[in-house]
Each structure stands twice: as C-alpha cells, then as structure tokens.
Amino acid sequence: MAILEAGVMFGGIPVVKINYYNESTTDSMLTAGLLEAIQAFAVEIFNDETEIFKMKKYSIFLHKMKLKNKQEVTLYSICDSVDRPRTVKDNMRTLAEKFYKQFEQVDLGLLAHYESFKETMTKSLGDLIYRPEDRLKKVFL
C-alpha cells in the first residue's frame, strides 16, 4: 500500500496537494470537485459522512474538521490499495490536529501560505508514501 496523493481542501478548493507518484497526476480542481461531490452525496442521500471511499484499485480516505473560526476543511489521502486502513485513518487524524494547530483559518487569497504544510504532511505520513518495492530499495540504498 502507498499513499499516492494527499491534500487539504476548503470549500471544494485544494489548499494543499502533494502527488507522491507522478504517474497519476490529476487536475487539482477535478480531484477536489470529485471528493466534495462524494461528501455532498453522502450527506444529502444518507445523512452521513464519508470516511473511506473504496474502488477496485484505489481507496480514498477523508477526514473533515472545523478550524477555530468554524471553517470546515477536509484532509484526504488517495491510496493504491488498503492493507492498513487503521494506520491511514490515524495519520489523517494526526494531520488534522497539526493543521488545526498551525492555521487558525483558511484564506483562499493566500494559498502560498499553506505550502509549508506539505513538509509536515510528508513527515507525518512517513513510509506510507512508499510502495513496498520502494521501501525495499530504501533499505539497500
């Protein structure tokens, strides 16, 4: 399992986005739109929130949270498969706490302000961003 992409969205706008594997580069707005649509569908139809959206080859983890000023942001991770869902969920919760501590609000006019969170995300996700073969290469190189 590897996290292919991770990010933070606010109101359907990507605030932070990291692609760990370039083979599946997607349009940031398209990804955010899809994830917002999935969330809206779950709330409207089932009156529930989506935490995991599983497809044949990919799984998407979503974690919603409110900032100090009541703005709602969503952290997400797109994985190529899931053999450790609890680990991914726990990391998403930890990342949400770090985002909450670092930023009081989201200002879409200052998106560059959130670039520093990319390093925090990468460090927090640790070896979850590596595919098994990449983890093995890291050991021997």
pLDDT digits (tens, 9 = 90+) for 61-100: 999 999 999 999 999 999 987 777 889 999 999 999 999 9
Q: Express as a percent the part of the chain with pLDDT over 90.
A: 51
pLDDT value of residue 99: 96
What single letter denotes the amino acid at residue 51?
E
The tally of domains found in the chain comes to 1
**pLDDT tens string 117-127:** 999 999 999 88
The whole-number average pLDDT for the span 1-24 is 88
> 131 pLDDT exceeds 90?
no
pTM: 0.88
Domain span holding position 12 = 3-140
**pLDDT tens string 100-119:** 999 989 999 999 999 999 99
**Per-residue confidence at 24, pLDDT binned at 50, 70, 90?**
low
Residue 34 is part of a domain; what is its CATH number? 3.30.450.70
Q: How many CB atoms lie within 10 A of CB 23?
A: 6
What is the sign of the dihedral through the CA atoms of 22, 24, 26 and 30?
negative
The whole-number average pLDDT for the span 15-32 is 81
Give the HSE-up count for residue 117: Cα atoms under 13 Å, Cβ half-sphere.
25
